[in-house]
Amino acid sequence: MDNASLKKSIVAILRKNARTPVKEIAERLSITEDRAAELIKALEAEQVIMGYTAIVSDAAYEGEVRAIIEVAVQPERDTGFDTIAEKLSKFPEVQSMYLVSGQYDLRLEIVGHSLQEVASFVAAKLACQDGVKATATYFLLKKYKEAGVQLNKDEKYERLKIVP
């Protein structure tokens, strides 16, 4: 396999499980451990791999409030959405941000310690930014699937019986 194919395969393996040992990656791709480690370092240097993260259950968010905020913005002449997106991404409350199609332009994932803290972020920091035309806030209640991983798959759920 050439370098480009090997790198693509490594990225696919690490996307499924970022903790896959280098030895296992090497064995799966029929290359040496040193070669696998070298390719991973190259992917990191090229910023193809920009970090590693864990998929965690809702219990890990105890004491935190998560929200998705959709933001309609006025794009700028030369930079489009990039200038405002860069400005908004610098707020520590913003965990993720995406440019999306549809009624709103940006979708932000926010973490706060209370509903009031998230609402305050929207009112005091987000909505007052130049170029922000409108926002819509959705509080996350339960996570079912993340990054391709089905969560709570063994959880038993029974609807309450309504007795006439």
Q: What is the mean pLDDT of residues 39-55?
A: 92
Class of domain 3-45: mainly alpha
Q: How confident is the model at residue 103 (pLDDT cuts 50, 70, 90)?
A: very high
Q: Is domain 59-142 classified as CATH 3.30.70.920? A: yes
pLDDT in tens, 76-94: 999 999 999 999 999 999 9
Segment 30-55 shows an average pLDDT of: 93
**Residue scoring higher pLDDT (97 or 151):** 97
How would you classify residue 81: left for phi > 0, otherwise alpha for psi between -120 and 50, otherwise beta? alpha
Q: What's residue 90's pLDDT?
A: 96
Instruction: State the average pLDDT for the chain.
Output: 90
Contact 135, 110 (CB under 8 A): no
Confidence of residue 151 (pLDDT cuts 50, 70, 90): confident
pLDDT tops 80 at residue 130: yes
Q: Is 139 helix (H, G, I), strand (E, B) or coil?
A: strand
What one-character DSSP code corresponds to residue 100? -
Per-residue pLDDT band at 62 (split at 50, 70, 90) = confident
Q: What local confidence, expressed as pLDDT, does residue 32 receive?
A: 94
Comparing 122 with 156, which gets the higher pLDDT?
A: 122
Lowest mean pLDDT among 6-10, 46-50, 86-90, 149-153: 149-153
Question: Going by C-beta distance under 8 Å and a sequence separation of 6 or more, which residues neighbour residue 23?
Answer: 33
Q: Whole-model pTM?
A: 0.76
Q: Which residue would you say has higher pLDDT here, 131 or 157?
A: 131
- The residues facing 135 across adjacent strands are 71
* Listed residue (45, 93, 48) closest to 69, CA to CA: 93
Question: The tokens of 7 are what?
Answer: 């790198």
Side-by-side strand order, sheet with 65-73: 94-99, 106-112, 65-73, 132-139
Q: CA-to-CA distance for 7 and 29, rounded, in angstroms? A: 10
pLDDT at residue 21 tops 80: yes
Give the single-character DSSP code of 10. H
What angle (nearest 5°) sits at the alpha carbon of residue 62, between those of residues 59 and 67?
100
Listed by start position, the domains of the chain span: 3-45, 59-142
- Can you give the three-state secondary structure of 57-94, one letter per residue? CHHHHCCCEEEEEEEEECCECCCECHHHHHHHHCCCCE
> What mean pLDDT comes out for the span 129-133?
94
